[in-house]
Amino acid sequence: MSEAKNKTKLPVSKKEILQDYQLAVESREASLIGRKEVFMGKAKFGIFGDGKEIPQIAMAKYFQNGDWRSGYYRDQTFMMAIGQLNTQQFFAQLYAHTDVEADPASAGRMMNGHFATRYLNEQGEWLTQTDKKNSSADISPTAGQMPRLLGLAYASKLYRESKELNELEDFSINGNEVAFGTIGNASTSEGHFWEAMNAAGVLQVPMIMSVWDDGYGISVPQKYHTIKESISDALSGFQKSKDKPGFEVLKVKGWDYIALLDTYKRAIEISRKTHTPCLIHVIEVTQPQGHSTSGSHERYKSKDRLKWEQEHDCILKMREWIENEKLASREELDQIEKESKLAAKQAKDAAWKAYSTEIKKEVEEVLGLIEKAGISSPKKSDISAISEDLRKELNPEKLHIVRSAKKVLRLLKRDSSLEKQNLVSWLNEKSAVYQKQYSSKLYSESSDSALKVNTIQPVYSDDSELVDGREVLNVCFDHLLSNDPRIFAFGEDVGKIGDVNQGFAGLQEKHGELKVTDTGIRETTIIGQGIGAAIRGLRPIAEIQYLDYLLYALQTLSDDLATLQYRTYGGQKAPLIIRTRGHRLEGVWHSGSPMGMILHSLRGMYVLTPRNMTQAAGFYNTLMSSDDPALVIESLNGYRLKERVPENLTEFKLALGEPEILREGTDATVVTYGSTYRVVMEAANQLAEEGVELEVIDAQTLIPFDRTKTIVGSLEKTSRLVVVDEDVEGGASAFIMQQILERDNGYFHLDSKPLTITAKNHRAAYGSDGDYFSKPNIEDVFDKIYALVSEVNPEKYPNIY
């Protein structure tokens, strides 16, 4: 590890130095004004990048077109320095302006300080990435940016080392792109940070990791966060040596402008050329306003510390240096500061005017309609009071508009006037607009949406081969890898042995280690590796070995991948496919079916539950021709079951959200998915011997669920609903019931209480008996459905037990 030192020779021109100073002052003023705007009630919350202006400006100088940022919510100066954020946009985000032109990062969806560039056009199609500076979309969870950062850097490795990818110049120029990460010192305590740093060192990828170290994590001092109270000391073992690869570890003071320029220049040259990852520990950073608008740092910092922070403020220190070097006079610097502060204020005023004018216009519109609707109403005085309350709102929001209109319409519920109808029409129109502003673009809306892929039925002949299910998948993956250079697969044991269930057997040998590769045991960064690569135009298949292990990566999946299209208002996507397996037989940690958790955590992704490997292959073909992220859960006990290979295995596809009726019947509709279908089918055969005919439906996909209303159509015939689920009580079954009974009005067709047959409320015990007594079994399904029909016709179906 080395510590950078000043050089007497200026690395940049005087003009550039003064421009840097001007930007630093304007960014600082934006932070100061932003805090005041929150306290005035014009914004809900503020978190700012004050104290980090100079190191971020230094970093930005070596950030080139094609490079990527995966940072955190204090990087406003960096974003301004690379030309991807102006001060008016900064304030538009603070006010949550829903115009994507005003807030390009998120159209008002992300709180302030969360940055992103748009690499998709309005149709959701890829834009060129190599002609611009790029930022992946931030998330709030601390260190949550780390897994994605690894993937952004890993993509450069693939682009450099795979000749097949040379033509994709919209995404990479020979893998020269560097991924820049930023994080606060306290957040380096998170496991995501350590896992990603280790993986980056193992993979040797071009990643520059900057740690802004201000000595605290909110109120908690460094001694509680980091061993040796220094992340660079703690990671000194990561330092590369002559005979072993590793990181380049550098330390630099956050107020030393020249040293910062020298440090970042050295680091970038190393990383861009050799793909060596670098850690830059930026020490002696200050945080003038404390953590956020939710508290004051005077509560936990000593007077001596606060005095030190004032004296070592990076902008103050830069000014002192400029004066000492005689690059500008005191009067010139005063004028720069005056102009910068004025520019920040003008940007704030312009952002507020743009935001508030639109809302005030809608307030005036609704007030006019309310006034007309209330003229002849006996509730006129009450309506006038509502109007007056709305007029008095100091900073009206859309919720005040909707709330006022609905209060008035309640008073007019017996009114049938044209004026009332005009108010209703206006409210409906605005509600549709607000729905789009706040609840659209959760999934891809492009022409490549997975929902636009139609089924191509599998074709069989008398010569169709009967093989193990794993062999069906193997042929499918072989074809995908052969026909698209962007596709690669990775995960624990995926490479050399072809995964633990042999879906990729022999494919590393055939396609090479870049296309089919092993990883360490690190589920969180396996997902992050896939997210970053998918952002950069590749088509990764990331494997999580068992469904139970998805919990390691759930935060990254839920907070980052599943929300990506939504939180950027369709400006970014990452079509990552996660492959895993679960459901049956192997005990507490190898037979999990936490489907309720998955369904509730991963809205924004598709969740597919094929009952066999042929169905899984059909889904993989669908997903690889579309642009949505998805989780595919294969049946753990199905790999060695025999399946016929479709003649068109490499072409056939399955539409998402289309259940399949596996068995027709009249007495009850049984809905299931995944491995459980085999249990249900055998129970249905046994029930048929007793005269009970079940209609068995495989949901196939849980998100999306039954877009064709197949299940309701079945209920019209059977009038009884049974959901068989391997999750705990109220797990996936609760979701399925809500979709069928509430969303699709299936309750209307029921003659009996709906029934769920689920696993016990504990993990499955080990072994065949453990599985039998923990999960739904054939006898459970038989007995409970028999009891259901017996209740209706006890004479025909007398009690058995």
Residue 689: how many CB atoms within 10 A of its CB?
Answer: 8
- In angstroms, how far is the first alpha carbon of the chain from the final one? 76
Q: Taking a C-beta distance cutoff of 8 angstroms, is the pair 251, 232 a contact?
A: yes
Q: Taking a C-beta distance cutoff of 8 angstroms, is the pair 384, 374 a contact?
A: yes
Q: Taking a C-beta distance cutoff of 8 angstroms, is the pair 507, 490 a contact?
A: no
Could you give the angle at the alpha carbon of 723 between the alpha carbons of 721 and 729, nearest 5°?
130
Q: Taking a C-beta distance cutoff of 8 angstroms, is the pair 120, 441 a contact?
A: no
Instruction: Give 607's contacts (C-beta < 8 A, 6+ positions apart).
Output: 595, 598, 599, 630, 631, 633, 701, 702, 703
DSSP assignment letter at 702: E
Which of 590, 600, 749, 762 is an active site residue?
A: 590
Q: Taking a C-beta distance cutoff of 8 angstroms, is the pair 466, 642 a contact?
A: yes
In whole angstroms, what is the distance from residue 635 CA to residue 619 CA? Answer: 14
What's the gap between Cα 133 and its chain centre? 21
Tokens 């080392």 belong to which residue? 161
405-443 burial, b for 16+ CB within 10 Å, e for fewer?
bebbbebbeebeeebbeebeebbeebeeeeeebeeebeb
Phi, psi of 346 (to 5 degrees): -65, -35
In this structure, the dihedral spanned by the alpha carbons of residues 550, 555, 560 and 562, taken in order and rounded to 10 degrees, is 60
In this structure, the dihedral spanned by the alpha carbons of residues 215, 217, 223 and 229, taken in order and rounded to 10 degrees, is -50
From residue 301, how far is each of 48, 186, 298 by CA, in Å? 19, 16, 5
Q: Taking a C-beta distance cutoff of 8 angstroms, is the pair 515, 489 a contact?
A: yes
> Can 297 be counted among the known catalytic residues?
no
What's the gap between Cα 164 and its chain centre? 29
Locate 628 and state its tokens: 């949505």
450, HSE (Cβ side, Cα atoms, 13 Å): 32
In whole angstroms, what is the distance from residue 335 CA to residue 343 CA? Answer: 12
DSSP-based three-state secondary structure for 635: strand
The type of residue at 798 is P
Q: Taking a C-beta distance cutoff of 8 angstroms, is the pair 680, 725 a contact?
A: no
Nearest to 136 by CA among 145, 125, 126: 145
Q: At how many degrees (to 10) do helices 87-94 and 330-374 cross?
A: 40
Exposed / middle / buried, residue 750 (Cβ in 10 Å: 0-12, 13-18, 19+) = middle
Nearest to 53 by CA among 20, 4, 84, 82: 20
In whole angstroms, what is the distance from residue 592 CA to residue 581 CA? Answer: 9
In whole angstroms, what is the distance from residue 168 CA to residue 148 CA? Answer: 21
* Residues carrying an active site annotation: 590
